[in-house]
Amino acid sequence: MKREDARALARALMDAAGLTGWRFRFDNARRRAGACTHGARTISLSGPLTDLYDEDTIRGVILHEIAHALVGPAHGHDAAWKRAARALGAPDSARLSSSLPAPDAPWVGTCPRCGAKRHLYRAPRRVSSCGLCSRFFDPALILTWEHHGNPASPGRAYERELASISGVHLPTSQGRTQPKASRHTPPGDTLDPNTPREKEAMGTTASPDATTAPDREVLTWEGFGGASRELAQQIVESGWIPDLIVAIARGGLIPAGAIAYAMDVKAIGTMNVEFYSGIGETLTEPVLLPPLMDVSAMDGKRVLVVDDVADSGKTLKMVMDLIDEHGLSLDGSASVRVEARSAVIYKKPVSIIEPDYVWAHTDKWINFPWSTLPVIKP
């Protein structure tokens, strides 16, 4: 459909629904056809997809977004929204047919093992490996990229992350570093018996002498208050405001809450990540655990993933890769495509991922105020 015709149709339908004070615009999205932004009182259509879709499809998309505008931001695609959509004559489904045409993606990544391809409309910001060959990140399966059919580098940040992956070190109990075992090393030999669990190295738990050990980065409650506000300020100044904040539990729970309050973001979720399965049993890769949450209303939205520290970076990288590859799924079933960024209070130099927002860099062990005191037991 021609864009000028789509604009006229949208304006007529919005006015007929009583949205005379709302704006209409086109955006450059390629994974979603439309959007309703309540704060800005704006309904938008994807310009590239409008060029490909027919009038009936575009009409359905416009009415879909008008229904969102009428019921308010709290409803998502719930029963109230479905009633409003049906009353307008719009499909009451959250998704369009997969048979509709899609614009060609200029970036194509290829798995070196199975040859599977991943298509992106923008240059990848993070290094990723094949999700078909392995559920978790594997350096041997890193995708190679082409842009419009020619081998190309996704950019400097991508190259820095790629270079950092080949020399990862893990912290030891004495504050020194030791080389990460090669991928051929048996899992039981990855860490020295005297090395703290990876969970501890990530700052989510503390050793018994955490409050008195030397050579530590100490963050007080007062310091955390300032850090969270400054981190929120970074995000706001970047011009990217999240619709949902997801905390990586447990370390990211308190930072995520503070950032959400600072930015007045009311939608908050958690992603439970564990690095060990039991006493003395360390997993080679982190895994996701329940409880989970429904994210069906977050399709096409902006999601900020928050953790306390990017230490080795394996947990944060796993979460961001899962969202990038398969969408955001916090209920164990349905997933939605989102625009995700990450924020941490601290980043270690050995981290294999470069978070989008960082408050401070350190190579020391970190004392967080919520994890330094002894556990309260009955």
CA 173 to chain centre: 31
Distance CA 329, CA 133 (A): 20
Distance CA 289, CA 188 (A): 22
Cβ atoms of residues 342 and 320 within 8 Å: yes
Domain ranges of the chain: 3-88, 107-166, 170-367
- In this predicted structure, what is the pLDDT of residue 177? 34
Distance CA 275, CA 197 (A): 8
- In this predicted structure, what is the pLDDT of residue 165? 77
| Amino acid (one-letter) located at 40 | A
Q: What is this structure's pTM? A: 0.45
Query: For each of the chain's 378 residues, which pLDDT tens digit applies?
Result: 999 999 999 999 999 999 999 999 998 888 788 988 887 899 999 999 999 999 999 999 999 999 999 998 777 788 888 899 999 999 888 778 778 888 888 999 999 999 988 888 888 877 888 877 876 678 888 899 999 999 999 988 888 888 877 644 333 333 333 333 333 222 222 222 232 222 222 222 223 333 334 467 889 898 899 899 999 999 998 888 998 899 998 899 999 999 999 999 998 888 876 654 433 344 455 555 554 555 555 667 888 999 999 988 888 888 887 777 666 655 444 556 778 899 999 999 889 988 999 999 888 888 899 988 888 888
Measured CA distances, 273 to 129, 250, 251, 276 (Å): 20, 8, 10, 9
Cβ atoms of residues 265 and 255 within 8 Å: no
- In this predicted structure, what is the pLDDT of residue 147? 94
| Amino acid (one-letter) located at 333 | S
CA 258 to chain centre: 18
Distance CA 62, CA 50 (A): 11
- In this predicted structure, what is the pLDDT of residue 323? 75
| Amino acid (one-letter) located at 138 | D
CATH domain 170-367 topology? Rossmann fold (3.40.50)
The CATH number of 3-88 is 3.30.2010.10
